[in-house]
A and B are shown apart, each in its own frame.
Chain A
Amino acid sequence: MPHTLSALRAAIARIERGGTAAAQRGAVPLGLAAIDDALPGGGLAAGAVHEVTGSAAGGFAAMLAGRFAGPVLWCVMERSPTDLYGPGLAAFGLDTRRLVVARCPSRQDMLWAMEEGLRDPALAVVAGEPDRAIALTASRRLQLAAETGGVTGLVLRHGAEDGALSPSAVFSRWRAESLPALGALSAPAEGARWRLELLRCRGGIGEIQQRTWTVDWCDATRDLSLVSGSRHRPAAAGTAERLAG
Chain B
Amino acid sequence: MLVSALNEAAQAAGLSPGMALADARAVAPALATLPADPAADAALLARIAAWCGRYTPWTTPEGEDGVWLDATGCAHLFGGERAMLRDLLSRLAGFGMTARGALADTPGAAWALSHYGEGNRIVPPGGAGKALAALPVAALRLEPDAVAGLRRLGLKRIGDLYALPRAPVTLRFGDAVMRRLAQAQGRIAEPVSPGRPPPRFRARLAFAEPVGRADDIAEALHRLLHDLCEQLDRAQQGCRRLELTLYRVDGSVQGAAVGTAYPARDAAHLARLFAERLGHLDPGFGVEMATLGAPVTEPLAPAQVTAQVTAPGTRNIGPKPDAALAPLLDRLGNRLGFGRLVALEPFESHLPERASRAVPVAERGHAGDWRRAAPRPLRLLSRPEPLETVSPVPEDGPPAAFLWRRVRHRLRAAEGPERISPEWWRPGPAWARGPRDYWRVEDEEGRRFWLFRETQPRRDGAPRWFLHGLFA
Interface residues of A (CB under 8 A from B): 25-26, 46-47, 55-59, 62, 69-71, 73, 78, 81-92, 95-105, 109, 112-113, 116-117, 120-124, 150, 177-183, 190, 192-193, 219
Bits for B252-282, please: 1 = Cβ < 8 Å to A, else 0: 0000000000000000000000000000000
- Does B315 lie at the interface of the complex (its beta carbon under 8 Å from any beta carbon of A)? yes
Q: Which residues of B contact A181 (CB under 8 A)?
A: 442, 446
Q: Which residues of B contact A180 (CB under 8 A)?
A: 412-413, 442, 444-446
- Does B12 lie at the interface of the complex (its beta carbon under 8 Å from any beta carbon of A)? no
Q: Which residues of A contact B307 (CB under 8 A)?
A: 120-122
- Does B420 lie at the interface of the complex (its beta carbon under 8 Å from any beta carbon of A)? no
Q: Which residues of A contact B308 (CB under 8 A)?
A: 122
Which chain B residue shows the least CB distance to A46?
A: B312
- Does B469 lie at the interface of the complex (its beta carbon under 8 Å from any beta carbon of A)? yes
CB of B363, distance to nearest CB on chain A (Å): 13
Which chain B residue shows the least CB distance to A219?
A: B375
Known: A55-B447, A113-B332. A86 touches B340 (CB 8 A): no
Known: A55-B472, A69-B317, A82-B382. A102 touches B376 (CB 8 A): no
CB of B347, distance to nearest CB on chain A (Å): 9
Query: Are B379 and A83 in contact, with the CB atoms below 8 A?
Result: yes
CB of A97, distance to nearest CB on chain B (Å): 4
Which of B315, B319, B336, B377 interacts with A95 by CB under 8 Å? B319
- Does B16 lie at the interface of the complex (its beta carbon under 8 Å from any beta carbon of A)? no
A181 to B440 Cα, complex, angstroms: 12
Query: Are B472 and A84 in contact, with the CB atoms below 8 A?
Result: no
Query: Are A121 and B309 in contact, with the CB atoms below 8 A?
Result: yes
A104 to B447 Cα, complex, angstroms: 27
Query: Are B471 and A87 in contact, with the CB atoms below 8 A?
Result: no
Query: Are B340 and A100 in contact, with the CB atoms below 8 A?
Result: no
A150 to B311 Cα, complex, angstroms: 9
Query: Are B336 and A113 in contact, with the CB atoms below 8 A?
Result: yes
Q: Which residues of B contact A88 (CB under 8 A)?
A: 376-380, 469, 471
A-B contact pairs, 27 of them (CB 8 A): A46-B312, A55-B447, A57-B472, A58-B378, A82-B382, A83-B379, A84-B379, A85-B344, A85-B356, A85-B469, A86-B345, A89-B344, A89-B378, A91-B375, A91-B376, A97-B320, A100-B343, A101-B344, A101-B358, A104-B340, A121-B312, A121-B315, A122-B321, A122-B325, A124-B315, A180-B445, A182-B415
A90 to B369 Cα, complex, angstroms: 9
CB of B325, distance to nearest CB on chain A (Å): 5
Known: A25-B312, A56-B472. A71 touches B317 (CB 8 A): yes
Q: Which residues of A contact B380 (CB under 8 A)?
A: 82-83, 85, 88
A163 to B121 Cα, complex, angstroms: 75
Query: Are A87 and B472 in contact, with the CB atoms below 8 A?
Result: no
CB of A154, distance to nearest CB on chain B (Å): 14
CB of A105, distance to nearest CB on chain B (Å): 7
CB of B271, distance to nearest CB on chain A (Å): 16
Known: A70-B317, A71-B317, A122-B317. A102 touches B325 (CB 8 A): no
Which of B321, B371, B444 interacts with A71 by CB under 8 Å? B321
Q: Which residues of B contact A117 (CB under 8 A)?
A: 328, 332
Known: A90-B370, A116-B331. A102 touches B341 (CB 8 A): yes
Q: Which A-B residue pairs are the 6 nearest by beta carbons?
A: A86-B356, A178-B446, A88-B378, A86-B344, A87-B376, A182-B413
Interface residues of B (CB under 8 A from A): 307-310, 312-313, 315-317, 319-321, 324-325, 327-329, 331-332, 335-336, 340-346, 352, 355-356, 358, 361, 366, 369-372, 375-382, 412-415, 440-442, 444-448, 469-472
Query: Are B378 and A178 in contact, with the CB atoms below 8 A?
Result: no
Which of A58, A78, A89, A97 interacts with B340 by CB under 8 Å? A78
Query: Are B324 and A122 in contact, with the CB atoms below 8 A?
Result: yes
Known: A57-B472, A182-B442, A183-B415. A47 touches B447 (CB 8 A): no
Query: Are B446 and A193 in contact, with the CB atoms below 8 A?
Result: yes
A2 to B356 Cα, complex, angstroms: 52
Known: A47-B312, A100-B329. A87 touches B444 (CB 8 A): no
Known: A59-B471, A87-B355, A116-B328. A69 touches B381 (CB 8 A): no
Which chain A residue shows the least CB distance to B371?
A: A87
Known: A25-B313, A87-B371. A100 touches B356 (CB 8 A): no
Query: Are A116 and B340 in contact, with the CB atoms below 8 A?
Result: no
Query: Are B447 and A86 in contact, with the CB atoms below 8 A?
Result: no
A178 to B441 Cα, complex, angstroms: 13
CB of A217, distance to nearest CB on chain B (Å): 11
Q: Which residues of A contact B441 (CB under 8 A)?
A: 182
CB of A58, distance to nearest CB on chain B (Å): 5
Q: Which residues of A contact B448 (CB under 8 A)?
A: 178, 182, 192
A88 to B329 Cα, complex, angstroms: 24
A121 to B331 Cα, complex, angstroms: 14
Known: A25-B313, A88-B376, A88-B379. A58 touches B472 (CB 8 A): yes
